[in-house]
Amino acid sequence: MAKSFNQAIVMGNLTRDPELRTTPGGQSVASFAVATNRSWQDGSTGERKEAVEYHEIVAWGKLGELAAQYLGKGRKVMVVGRLQTQSWEKDGVKRQRTEIVASDINFLDRPGDAPAGGAEGAAAAASGPAPKAKSGDVVVEDLDGDEQVNLDDIPF
């Protein structure tokens, strides 16, 4: 019997800040969209063309909480997950939506690198120096040597 495989990997920019909700059972879930771009040269005209695809992302539990806390519009990410299609009927019309249920999210830029309008850029700039670590915390010096990073604060 052949195995089946359902995995999606997208790398792009968030189109909006993640929206964090909680289910009635207490489970956290974040949703956001990632835009990916592709470009090609038209074979007949030689004209350069571009297209954008928008991918709906859902992240459950701690992963969703971390996405909502650290990501904002414009941030560059790589999302790994599985495709899932939701179907429903509204006003007699059948509808479908395919989304990526994230199993891993990699942040590909720093909060200050996000384009203007990203929530994280302004928050990072205004936050000032990092708080001092408590006794017993594992701490790593930043490469610049001016900031301490607590390993428990790193979301990945």
Kind of pairing between the strands at 93-107 and 76-90: antiparallel
CB of 73 closer than 8 Å to CB of 19: no
Confirm whether 148 is domain-assigned.
no
pLDDT of 29 strictly over 60: yes
pLDDT at 137 over 80: no
Q: Which residues does 25 contact at the CB level (< 8 Å), separation at least 6?
A: none
Q: Is residue 78 part of a domain?
A: yes
Whether residue 133 is contained in a domain is answered as: no
Q: Does residue 141 sit within a domain?
A: no
Could you tell me which residues come within 8 angstroms of residue 89 by beta carbon, excluding any fewer than 6 positions away?
95
Q: Is residue 88 part of a domain?
A: yes
Average pLDDT, the chain: 80
Q: Would residue 41 count as lying in a domain? A: yes
56: Cβ contacts below 8 Å, ≥ 6 apart: 31, 33, 97, 98, 99, 100
**Which carries the bigger pLDDT value, residue 146 or residue 111?**
111
Judge if pTM exceeds 0.75: no
- Residue 99 — φ and ψ, nearest 5°? -135, 165
Top-confidence residue, 72 or 145: 72
Residue 100 counted as domain residue:
yes
Residue 110 pLDDT greater than 70, yes or no:
yes
In a domain, 101, yes or no: yes
Q: What is the pLDDT of residues 61-83, one digit of tens each?
A: 999 999 999 999 999 999 999 99
- Structural domain of residue 42, as residue ranges? 8-128
CATH of the domain at 40: 2.40.50.140
Number of folded domains that form the chain: 1
**Residue of 108 and 144 predicted with greater confidence:** 108
